[in-house]
Amino acid sequence: MKQVAIITGCSSGIGYETSILLAKNGFKTYATMRNPAKGNTLKEIAENENLDLNVIKLDVTDDYSIKNAINEIIQETNRIDVLVNNAGNNIAGSVEDLSIEEFKEQFETNLFGLIRVTKEILPIMRKQRMGMIVNVSSIIGKMAIPLNSAYVSSKFAVEGFSESIRYELEDFGIKVILIEPGVVKSNFYENTKMSKNSLMDPKSPYHSIAQKIFDAFLPMLQNAFPAKKVAAVILEAIISDNPEIRYIVGDDAKSINETRIKMSDKEFENWVKEGLFEKKGFVR
């Protein structure tokens, strides 16, 4: 019997690559996205390569959409073995410029969306007494950068949520793991929303800081880790008999994590400021 996998946020990037890879490795795969029209390329790949890859609508911010999608999958398969919570976005801005509504919007997708989908599939996995939940976090869920407090705090929350439910679900045979990529080649950064009071406005008191950070990130974006390689790590975790709790993905993420372990809080903060404001980067 094929294992059934659901992946959120599959219109591009990590979700897109993971859905193809899992289907190629024998999973009955459901690639979900808010707008299924963006899944036409996936449908073509599935047809051309005879993959068990299905594109369905699922908006992680909409309870009705989630229930409909999960019900459709259960009617077809009667089980769910793997959930990859990948859907996410980024709203950038200083805390002063970001509105409470923008913070809420960020958390609705990155945290509450993940929780909604998880809660919907848990009774199914618990009844099966087996399953795996893969939460795509970020190295930014373990360290902070300026002018990104909404995104950073949402990912810190994903980390804490994942750690907590690991204890709750272990007795039911449900595994929970975290994927923590660094900068990934995708349209994620192109799709980053700026706060309504844009940092790019020269009149913003945070404009000069923003410019330094954007300049520092440019070479990191040019050398970003391919989304295909993140998908390969997700597959490795899913098929492992004894998966790790966390998988740190990318040279930049590994360098940050290794440095964080060695340093005090103040030392690490100074290292981050060096990397961002003095353009020394995080891979040394």
Q: Give the DSSP letter string of 75-141.
A: HHHS---EEEE-----EEB-TTTS-HHHHHHHHIIIIIIHHHHHHHHHHHHHHHT-EEEEEE--GGG
Model confidence at 24: pLDDT above 90:
yes
Residue 238: predicted pLDDT? 98
**DSSP structural state of residue 195:** P
Q: What is the span of the domain harbouring residue 180?
A: 4-197+225-253
Catalytic residue status for 151: yes
Within a domain: 149: yes
Within a domain: 202: no
Average pLDDT, the chain: 92
- In sequence order, the 6+-apart residues with CB closer than 8 A to the CB of 160 are none
pLDDT tens digits, one per residue of 238-273: 999 999 999 999 999 999 999 999 999 999 999 999
Q: Which residues pair with 134 in a beta bridge?
A: 84, 177
Within a domain: 209: no
Within a domain: 34: yes
What pTM does this model have?
0.94
Residue 277: predicted pLDDT? 82
Within a domain: 142: yes
pLDDT tens digits, one per residue of 55-114: 999 999 999 999 999 999 999 999 999 999 999 999 988 898 899 999 999 999 999 999
- In sequence order, the 6+-apart residues with CB closer than 8 A to the CB of 100 are none
Please answer whether residues 40 and 213 qualify as being in contact, where contact means their C-beta atoms are separated by less than 8 angstroms: no
Within a domain: 106: yes
The residue from 151, 167, 206, 247 that is catalytic is 151
pLDDT tens digits, one per residue of 131-160: 999 999 999 999 999 999 999 999 999 999
Model confidence at 189: pLDDT above 70:
no
Mean pLDDT (whole number) for 224-231: 93
Within a domain: 215: no
Phi and psi torsions of 80, nearest 5°: -140, 120
- Of residues 113 and 217, more confidence is placed in 113
Q: pLDDT category, 186, cuts 50, 70, 90?
A: confident
CATH number of the domain encompassing residue 127 = 3.40.50.720
Percent of the chain past pLDDT 70, that is, above it, reads 94
Q: How many CA atoms lie within 13 A of 135 on its CB side?
A: 33
Total number of domains in the chain: 1
Of 111-115, 182-186, 210-214, the one with minimum mean pLDDT is 210-214
Within a domain: 163: yes
Q: How far is CA 167 from the centre of its chain?
A: 21
Residue 128: predicted pLDDT? 97
Model confidence at 197: pLDDT above 80:
no
Contacts 24+ apart (CB under 8 A), 263-270: 268/143
Model confidence at 279: pLDDT above 80:
no
Residue at token pair 């994942």: 162
Residue 37: predicted pLDDT? 95
The token pair at 102 is 């923008």
Report the largest interatomic distance among the alpha carbons of the chain, rounded to a whole angstrom.
Answer: 61
Residue 208: predicted pLDDT? 82
